[in-house]
Structure 1
Amino acid sequence: MQNELTQLIKSNVEASFLIKNNLTRALNELVEDYTSQLDSICKPMGLTCKDNVDFEERYTGFFIFKPEWEYANIGFQFQNYNRELRFGIVAKRDPGKFPNDLRIKLRALPNNNKKENDWWPWHNFAESPFADWSKVEAWKAIEDRRMLNFMKQKIEMLLAMIGNIKL
């Protein structure tokens, strides 16, 4: 199949470059559509979803929150461009202003993969195929809604763990 694809590209160089040059744009539009889907599952839970996904930058992702959450959001963030998706509770702004008692409570929650900086008082890693959006498997998971189900499960899990903790 790789040989056939190589021959197809060689015989259609101009079209191949058009596809390559528009792939990022198409993926960005897919992210916009995905954010709308994610927001539609968040709304019934009283949550809002925003994204700042930019595959040219690090530390971008999806952020889930309630208006009354003063210090933290639920985050799904790429640590390395469109790879290494992590999820958890992330500081909304300067973690130096994050209340220490809140940080202690969040760090004590189960299954915390403690991070070396204060931005993430609770976090964990997304597993394959959800973690690496540079691979087609992640986009297939978006297409067939496994990604949406994965994020919904993680949001529900985090909400249950947070309980009455005021973020």
Structure 2
Amino acid sequence: MSIVDKILTANKAFMKSSHTPISKFPQYHAAIVTCMDTRLVNFLEPAAGIERGTVKIIKTAGNTVGSDFNDVIKSLMICVYELQVKEIVVIGHYQCGMEKTTSQGLVDHMRIHGINDNIINDILPDLRNWADAFHTSCQNVTESVANIKASKYLPDDIPVHGLIIDPDTGKIDLIK
């Protein structure tokens, strides 16, 4: 059974129960930037006391937020300017796969999958700046928080915090 078939089958069962509509505006007026790691799915939320409708969650590899005009910053702009978000939290996790990811490793895998060298060369500087800059989860949370705070596209007075979660135990530590 394909993943799409599994999703549609699960949805049929889900639709048999009733669901209360919830506002698109987060109750806590907060956005969380976190990693896409599978260990965090349905784990981060209860560990942090997050329920449906309470926060906006933006997931990206390594919870990385660059310093330029990127998709995470764009999403945070929507959160702040359109969806009443007044606080931002970056939540990384220990044992992140990005700690071992390198631009060269990604390039090697891209070539194996038939991606043309011209395409690779076009993105190589950005790929190096992104993949090779990630060394530890704590460092990345700190840098992501700093990049959000320094973003000229977001207000200076919005609080931005950094946390890190243990993907095995759920313990959350304050980083910044």
TM-score, normalised to structure 1, is 0.24
TM-score, normalised to structure 2, is 0.23
Q: Greater relative contact order: 1 or 2 (C-alpha under 8 angstroms, separation 6 or more)?
A: 2
